Chain A
Amino acid sequence: MSAETKTKIDFHQIDEILESFGYDKTNLIMILQKIQSIYKYLPQDIITYVGDKIEGLSPASVYGVITFYAQFSLEPKGKYEIKVCDGTACHVRGSMPVLEEIKKKIPLEKGRMTTKDGLFSIETVSCLGACGLAPAVVINDKVYPQMTPAAISIIIDTLLKEDE
């Protein structure tokens, strides 16, 4: 299995979430969003738990939903969640060079989206609805408009300094 470190999980809290959504399988996505907002990702134990507790679902089917949608993560996200918009407008205005610059500054292991130290996670998203600001980058809900490789480089340096 993956080397996922065991996160302490408060199952009473999960029960409360399930209860608030009536243990209804049609609410699965909202349930998962709620849980992810607490843990910043979806730990395996929770997937099993949710799959067992909701009638008509199984761990495998919950896992299927999680891996279908890009918004759900199976690994803990970093302290700084960087989202690079790669919608059409951002793409033509040069989002890829911005992403390349980020990856150069923050090297990731192959197949992973979070750095080993847990500081950064990087993902591309399809259209943030901020096309007027293209290319846009969002870091922890803060929008950085009209990015260039040079500008994002400074922003990352600032974040790194803040963290020291």
Chain B
Amino acid sequence: MTDKKTLFINDTEVGFTDEKNVLEVARHAGINIPTLCYRPDLTFYGACRMCVVEQVGRGIQAACTLPPKEGMQIRTNTTEIRKIRKNVIELLLARHNRECTLCTKSGSCDLQKFALEYGITEIRYEKIKEEDFPKIDNSSLSISRDMSKCILCGACIRACSEFQGIGVLGFSKRGADTQIQPMAGYNLAEVDCVNCGQCVSVCPTGALTVKPNISEVMDALCDYNIKTVIQIAPSVRVALGEMFGLKPGDNSIKKIYAAAKKIGFNLVFDTNFSADLTIMEEAHEFVERVSKGENLPLFTSCCPAWVRYMELKHPDMLNHLSSAKSPQGMLSAVMKRILPKEYEGYTKENIRVVSVMPCTAKKYEANRDELLGQTDYVLTTYEFAKLIQSQGIDFDKLEEIEADSPFGTYSGGGTIFGASGGVAEAAVRTAYNMITGENLDDINIVALRGVDEHSRSKEAQIDIKGKKVKIRVVSTLVEAEKAVQEVIKGTADFQMLEVMACPGGCINGGGQPSGCKDSQTKVKRSIGLYKEDEALPIRNSHQNPDIIKLYEKYLEKPGSELAHKLLHTTFSNKKTGSYTDFSK
């Protein structure tokens, strides 16, 4: 921390330390400056001009790119500034598709919000005709692109290149013709998009939205011949409540179960259970690979965006990926196989599995050739909250209930799956037990925790009875690529690599209620998960009684033949780019 300095905002003295811009200083002082394009985790861009403020003596400046200085005099709310902001909104709306009621972002759209706040009642410019709007790109399984709603703030471009290093989207053409699009007018499904949804998460308008699946789910719910079962992912519990007035990190899982029952799901299960199951298989695989010394380091494979990235960019290294399915994939497969044996009236054919995920890429994962027909529909956290709202359920007044048996119990290891570092921590807890037969003295592996922008690459060394194992944890594919390059060069000294594509992990996934405006939201959500881990009576995946039962009754042991059939999957080269055909 540097020394505390002061500046003046609207004639009030405000202290600041290491804030990078006046916008942050104002926010910390409780003064909100409107912005459409400012995202604290991305580079500051100054595109939208909504955050203009007056620096006395220097004139109008964009607060997001203005570094704070001692004694600076800032005014955030003068008549002139309001007029400029109003004009900005009006100009943005001039070429905007103003069919707000038909937009999936309606209600959570920043542009709509500011238009209301600044009292925009008419727009002096002529409306663009509907037939002149760019076509909607619905090619992707996860993301819908409607450029008639784009304000060219470039947040999506920054997210894709700065978080993931892929840069699927870019500005093209110039001046009034400027557009944001993938290369050469390709659609999203044809380029190297990994479906992580970070572009959706940072988009201030309805230009990039999650491909909705609510209506299909409703159809299944209303069909009495169909048994609907639902699974809720770890990080949903600490974020969904934000849509109902709870704070980020408040754990509302028992209300989420209750809401699911009220909506009409026949059985409610928890993906945390299958996170434990994933740990059993993955830890077993890890122990085996370490003892044989092959295919190391092991790369985790629960993040579908990361898996797709590997298939696109490093198809020759797929042997490093753990063949264990993701928790979503495991639970869906297990449910379709085992529920008919446990519950009357359930058959493989009449079960529809709906999963609630913080992730847009899970929609893609469910449709992978290898996994098709297991998870039927994927809803994002945001969609599920919308579904709850549409059913007239008062979330606040719901009575807390437990999940159904036999896939409802979980350990702390399962719950921390949602934060970057959690998968590795849970895997180490169980791998240690598999090797030594004992549990770790201190199961808190603090070095692997932390989800802010300084913790995107973490390492821990574990001493397993004299054998030292090094674990690397990364979030964002930019960091993942660095780790992969180390493996390629042979300088990697770690034996396990955990990757989550979204910065901070699933808690900050593309399907969560957007937390991009403030870099603390994801931190609070992760604290919520680690709190639950601390509070649970069982914190090791291998001690989950229902997991033990599942192996005893059906799967024998981790890595058994049936376990492999049901719980493991394969990967394949998905490299795009026609140039590869003649490059050699």
Q: Are B167 and A48 closer than 8 Å at their CB atoms? A: no
Whether A115 sits at the interface, judged by CB under 8 Å, is: no
Q: Does B7 touch A at the CB level, under 8 Å?
A: no
Tell me the chain B residues, 164-183 only, with Cβ under 8 Å from chain A: 166-174, 181-183
**Given A1-B186, A74-B184, A60 contacting B579 (CB threshold 8 A):** no
B190 to chain A minimum Cβ distance, whole angstroms, is 9
Name the contact of A67 in the complex, choosing from B167, B168, B173, B582 (C-beta under 8 A).
Answer: B173
| Residues on A facing B (Cβ under 8 Å) | 1-2, 8-9, 11, 44-49, 51-52, 57-64, 67-68, 74
- For B184, the chain A residues whose CB sits under 8 A away are 1-2, 44, 47, 59, 63, 74
* Interface residue B2 (Cβ < 8 Å from any Cβ of A): no
Instruction: Tell me the nearest residue of chain B to A12, going by C-beta.
Output: B583
| Given known A1-B186, A47-B184, A63-B184, contact A9–B582 (CB-CB < 8 A) | yes
- 12 A-B contacts, Cβ less than 8 Å apart? A9-B582, A11-B583, A44-B184, A47-B183, A51-B167, A58-B161, A58-B168, A59-B167, A60-B157, A63-B172, A67-B172, A67-B173
Contacts A60-B183, A68-B173, A68-B174 given; indicate if A9 touches B168 (C-beta within 8 A).
Answer: no
Q: Which residues of B contact A9 (CB under 8 A)?
A: 579, 582
Min CB distance B91 to A, Å, is 22
Docked complex Cα distance between A122 and B206 (Å): 39
**B491 interface residue (CB < 8 Å to A):** no
Q: Across the interface, do B174 and A58 meet the contact criterion of CB distance under 8 Å?
A: no
Q: Are A49 and B577 in contact (CB under 8 A)?
A: yes
Q: How far is the CA of A9 from the CA of B582 in the complex (A)?
A: 8
Nearest-Cβ distance from residue B579 to partner chain A, whole angstroms:
4
For the complex of A and B, 8 pairs with smallest distance between CB atoms: A58-B167, A60-B170, A59-B183, A64-B170, A63-B183, A61-B170, A60-B183, A67-B172
What's the minimum C-beta distance from A22 to chain B, rounded to whole angstroms?
19
Of B172, B184, B186, B191, most A-chain CB atoms within 10 Å: B184
Q: Mark B566-584, 1 if CB is under 8 A from A, else 0.
A: 0000000000011100110
Minimal Cβ-Cβ distance residue in B for A44: B184
B583 and A58 within 8 A (CB): no
CB contact under 8 A between A60 and B182, given known A52-B577, A68-B173: yes
Interface residues of B in 200-245 (CB under 8 A from A): none
Contact of B168 among A47, A57, A60 (CB under 8 A): A60
12 further interface pairs, Cβ-Cβ under 8 Å (given A1-B186, A58-B166, A59-B182): A1-B184, A2-B185, A11-B582, A44-B184, A45-B579, A49-B579, A49-B583, A52-B577, A60-B181, A67-B172, A67-B173, A74-B184
Chain B residues with Cβ under 8 A from A67's Cβ?
Answer: 172-174
Contact indicator A64/B172 (Cβ below 8 Å): yes
Measured CB to CB, the nearest residue on chain A to B169 is A60
Residue positions of B touching A, CB distance < 8 A: 157, 161, 166-174, 181-186, 191, 577-579, 582-583
Is A62 in contact with B183, judged by CB distance below 8 angstroms? Answer: yes
Flag if A63 contacts B170 (CB, 8 Å): yes
A55 to chain B, nearest CB (A): 9
Question: How far does the alpha carbon of A52 sit from the alpha carbon of B575 in the complex, in Å?
Answer: 12
The minimal Cβ–Cβ distance linking B364 to chain A, given in whole angstroms, is 19
Expressed in whole angstroms, the Cα–Cα distance for A57 and B170 within the complex equals: 10
| Inter-chain contacts of B578 with A (CB < 8 A) | 45, 48
| Known contacts A11-B582, A47-B184; is-contact A64 B577 (Cβ 8 Å) | no
Q: How far is the CA of A83 from the CA of B24 in the complex (A)?
A: 51
Known contacts A48-B183, A67-B173; decide if A61 and B167 are in contact (CB<8 Å): yes
Q: How far is the CB of B268 from chain A (nearest CB, A)?
A: 42
Q: Which A residues lie within 8 Å of B171 (CB)?
A: 64, 68
Which residue of B157, B191, B582 contacts A59 across the interface (Cβ within 8 Å)? B191
Closest to B167 in A: A58
Q: How far is the CB of A18 from chain B (nearest CB, A)?
A: 13
- A11, A45, A47, A64 — which one has the most chain B CB atoms within 10 A of its CB? A64
The answer for the CA separation of A133 and B169 in the assembled complex, in Å, is 44
Report the minimum CB–CB distance from B142 to chain A (whole Å).
18
Docked Cα-Cα span, A135 to B171, in Å, equals 34
Residue in chain B with minimal CB distance to A70: B174
Expressed in whole angstroms, the minimum distance between the Cβ of B484 and any Cβ of chain A is 14
Given A47-B183, A68-B173: A57 in contact with B579 (beta carbons within 8 A): no
A30 to B580 Cα, complex, angstroms:
24
Complex Cα gap A49–B166 (Å): 14
A12 to B370, CA, bound (A): 37
Distance, CA A47 to CA B191, complexed state (A): 13
Question: Are A51 and B582 in contact (CB-based, < 8 A)?
Answer: no
Once the chains bind, are A57 and B167 in contact (CB under 8 Å)? Answer: yes
Provide the residues of chain A in CB contact with B582, threshold 8 Å: 8-9, 11
Give the docked Cα–Cα distance between A48 and B183 (Å): 8
